[in-house]
Amino acid sequence: MTAGEVAMTNDERNTPIDYRQLSKFTARVLRHEPWLYELELDDQGWVPLEEFLSAVRDRKGWREVGESDLHHMVDVTDKKRYEIADGRIRAFYGHSVPQRLIKQPAEPPAVLHHGTAPEVVGQIRADGLRPMGRQFVHLSSDAETARQVGRRKARSPIILEIQTRPAHLAGVRFYRGNEMIWLADHVPPRFITIP
């Protein structure tokens, strides 16, 4: 079987997996734009499988993709593109994302959003939003995207509203990820509205 064939693994599912499309998506995430999916690669390009699967399952039609599907994708690709080891996955030929992404500051929209687990709200009130082991704080341009991201952290996430204009004027740096995602080094609590 080639990577382009659509197949079903031993898992029961309603729709088969298109492994060619899964491979293309994996390349985009692991090699080019991990921050768009709130993933942080370590200095060797690895990301935990569960975090990667969470990003995959957010895509329409791929909610049932499991670890066995990723192993199958790795096995059927024409060229050895990925490797899985110790509960992690990476692009085999390395990644095009440097350890610290170089981003140019940009003026953000007036308001951005961040979805988070209710149990960390107290810490956010005290310290603001910090990368927490990632390169950047990830912010969403709309509340619904923030809600989807927040569901990776909690069943009923809290949606924070970031007052970016006063933050930007106070020296907080914001960086454009894409039309839906913005990044920041740190957002102090005074610029965060918590419902």
Residues 70 and 135 in one domain: no
Pairing of strands 181-184, 137-140: antiparallel
Residues 75 and 124 in one domain: no
Report which of residues 183 and 42 the model is more confident about.
183
Residue by residue, DSSP assigns 124-190 as HHHH-B--TTSSSEEEESSHHHHHHHHTTT-SS-EEEEEEHHHHHHTT--EEE-SSSEEEES-B-GG
Query: Which residues lie across from 129 on neighbouring strands?
Result: 187
Residues 20 and 82 in one domain: yes
Residues 187 and 120 in one domain: yes
Domain assignment present for residue 133? The answer is yes
Q: What is the pLDDT of residue 168?
A: 97
Domain that holds residue 164: 111-193
The model's confidence at residue 151, banded by pLDDT at 50, 70 and 90, is: confident
Residues 189 and 134 in one domain: yes
- pLDDT, one tens digit per residue, over 22-39 is 988 998 888 877 877 888
Residue 3 has pLDDT above 60, yes or no: no
| Residues 112/167, Cβ–Cβ less than 8 Å | no
Q: Is the dihedral of CA 187, 108, 104, 90 positive or negative?
A: positive
Q: What is the pLDDT of residue 86?
A: 94
Other C-beta atoms lying within 10 Å of the C-beta of residue 57? 13
What type of residue sits at position 123? Q
| Residues 109/138, Cβ–Cβ less than 8 Å | no
Residues 141 and 85 in one domain: no
